[in-house]
Structure 1
Amino acid sequence: MSSQAVPAHAEIPPPRIEEVSPGIYAYIQLDGSWFLNNAGAIVGSRSATVVDTTGTEKRARAFHAAIREVTPHPVSALINTHSHGDHTHGNFMFAPASAIIASERCRREIIAGGHASYALFPMVDFGDCPITPPTVTFDDRLSVYVDDLEVELIYVGPAHTTSDIVAWIPERKLLFSGDVIFNGGTPFALGGSVAGWLTALDRIEALGAEAIVPGHGEVCGPEVIGEVRSYLRWVQQSARAGFEKGTPPLDLAAALDLGKFAEWHDRERLVPNIHRVYSELRGEPLGIPLDYRQLFAEMLIYNGNQPLRCLA
């Protein structure tokens, strides 16, 4: 089922909403590259709970319309898996009627970050997306119920960010992973931790999910956990060798052969990922803020001074 109209682009299909388990829907925005994230909905007999939103006003309105296609019931709760704008700019579409639930770190990061994405992606028409932070927060775990179906919210950060949670539905063995899982896209640890991400993957693998709605890319199985782990370990090992030689991260990234990871979207994320490992090798706290503007500039250099490919 396709969503309502969104900005057209010849390179990508329109978003679609698909039922991945009875009453549980994934909203897929391909190709899953910068700012083309996934969201979802868990529909009960009287209300629905939404997982994440989208990154622009037009896409947020299209997502809201897609929810209306599968249920007439009100959305009583919205879960933010982390703070990034592609998952949270659309919060305004569900406020104030919906409780917005996230980690406490997520609330702080949304308030502090504001519309920082706008300057990083000037080619995107973001429209009017008022910053709408979570209204209910937690530190470790929280259970939300849709009728009698338990949705366990589990803090797993620092990983992709310092605010990551996953939404685990044990009765269905279904996981909404947020950006702890990218399917077919390069993981991005600029705001998180490579070491922490590897720990997070171990934690979510232990849940025993049979189906995963990733933060980006098609719905997948648990095998993708191993693919993300393989990439992060490769980055970690490569960065350690470069760190010991004193090689600047950008120079190291340019010299590395991506091998099997070359087919993934947004390969320029290798540069900040290496910076993140260098930070950890210096003994700095996991997830300590790095200079976003500097590292986005280095990604452009890595791309041959071409703009980031953002089709949102």
Structure 2
Amino acid sequence: MAKAFASAADLEEKTVTFAELGSGVYAYTAEGDPNTGVVVGDDGVLVADTQATPVMAQDVIRRVREVTDKPFHHVLLTHYHAVRVLGASAYGAPNVIASRNTMEMVAERGQQDYDSEVGRFPRLFQSVESIPGLTWPTLGFDERLTLYMGRDRVVEIMHVGKGHTQGDTIAWLPKEKILFSGDLVEYGATPYCGDSHLTDWPQTLEKLKELGPEKLVPGRGDALMTKADCLDAIEGTKAYVTALFQTVKGCVDKGMSLKETWDHTYPELEKKYHNWVIFEHCMPFNVSRAYDEAKGHVRPQIWTAERDKEMWANLND
């Protein structure tokens, strides 16, 4: 029997946790679904990643309203993937923050990404008709933007390097040593590498380690409450992306086709990572991107709904 496409068969609702990491700092997590971060300042709220649709975002908003009635001032896009950003309009925040490299991705491939991801994640695009269109940033930066959300609440917004995408952005609370990593770091979940820069990703993760986070909200997986768990998540993500690229590059160096590379790489990574969330979903996209990068294609190809399904069928034949 052919494997169901991507996450098309994943229809089971997840249990949501709204965890407090520190005074006024929260993580919205759901058993490996995309996470959202919340920071409450003196006068307003920052949301890091928004859920996939305005209707899906309402559950985040409901939980935020249980702890504060302050208005939403900032939405941060840690990167641009539809499943994380298309719920932004629900918050009514005047500032939608993204790195310049992320803005470039919206312009270049935002609509294709929208069409592609709706097909991959039907459960996560509840009430897709509520999406008013692409989420466009209103406030951009190159490397660093500092938000003063109160005398005692400083949030450093930083693009420290490429990895999951070319525009990856983190939110760092230096006083509290709390890190919102976006999909640069996952915990118990398979990194999606379809738009990645695999040779850069490990070095970018080293920069996150240098910050010394004591609490961390990954892109997927539980919020991490100890320094040891933060390090474990960073190192685990680094080990996966390194193993993926090294295995695929070895195949490319031997002149293997993409299908031959897939047939070799999948069982190698399955041995260690098969229990990670969305492993089956991510692997075809990950091997395809690693294969391209190993062959010298630095810039990821644009995924379209048509390309998704053609690739899936070819590799899973």
Residue number in structure 2 paired with 1:45? 42
TM-score scaled by structure 1? 0.85
Check the 8 A contact 1:249/1:271 in 2, yes or no: no
Check the 8 A contact 2:178/2:215 in 1, yes or no: yes
Residue number in structure 1 paired with 2:178? 174
Check the 8 A contact 1:271/1:295 in 2, yes or no: no
Residue range with higher mean Cα deviation, 293-302 or 164-173:
293-302
Matches within 5 A, 1:1-312: 11-30=12-31, 32=32, 36-95=33-92, 97-112=93-108, 113-114=110-111, 116-122=113-119, 123=122, 124-125=125-126, 126-130=128-132, 131-148=134-151, 149-220=153-224, 221-256=230-265, 257=267, 258-268=270-280, 269-285=282-298, 287-292=299-304, 293-300=306-313, 302=315, 304=316
Check the 8 A contact 1:27/1:39 in 2, yes or no: yes
Number of equivalences? 290
Runs of at least 4 residues off by over 6 Å: none
- Structure 1: distance between partners of 2:309 and 2:301: 14
Identity of aligned residues (%): 28
Check the 8 A contact 2:81/2:113 in 1, yes or no: no
Check the 8 A contact 1:78/1:99 in 2, yes or no: yes
Decide whether aligned partners of structure 1 residues 65 and 301 sit closer, same or farther in structure 2, where only a CA change above 3 A counts: farther
Decide whether aligned partners of structure 1 residues 115 and 174 sit closer, same or farther in structure 2, where only a CA change above 3 A counts: same
Unaligned runs of 5+ in 2: 1-9, 225-229
- Structure 2: distance between partners of 1:255 and 1:185: 22
User: Whose helix proportion is higher, 1 or 2?
Assistant: 2
Decide whether aligned partners of structure 1 residues 181 and 297 sit closer, same or farther in structure 2, where only a CA change above 3 A counts: farther
- Structure 2: distance between partners of 1:243 and 1:46: 54
Decide whether aligned partners of structure 1 residues 115 and 18 sit closer, same or farther in structure 2, where only a CA change above 3 A counts: farther
Q: Secondary structure at the match of 1:133?
A: coil
1:167, distance to aligned residue in structure 2 (A): 0.7
Q: In structure 1, what residue type is equivalent to 2:145?
A: L
- Structure 2: distance between partners of 1:187 and 1:121: 18
Q: Secondary structure at the match of 1:206?
A: helix
TM-score scaled by structure 2? 0.84
1:107, distance to aligned residue in structure 2 (A): 2.3
Residue range with higher mean Cα deviation, 124-133 or 43-52:
124-133
- Structure 2: distance between partners of 1:10 and 1:277: 29
- Structure 2: distance between partners of 1:242 and 1:78: 41
Decide whether aligned partners of structure 1 residues 136 and 189 sit closer, same or farther in structure 2, where only a CA change above 3 A counts: same
Q: Secondary structure at the match of 1:41?
A: strand
Check the 8 A contact 1:152/1:167 in 2, yes or no: yes
Residue number in structure 2 paired with 1:4? none
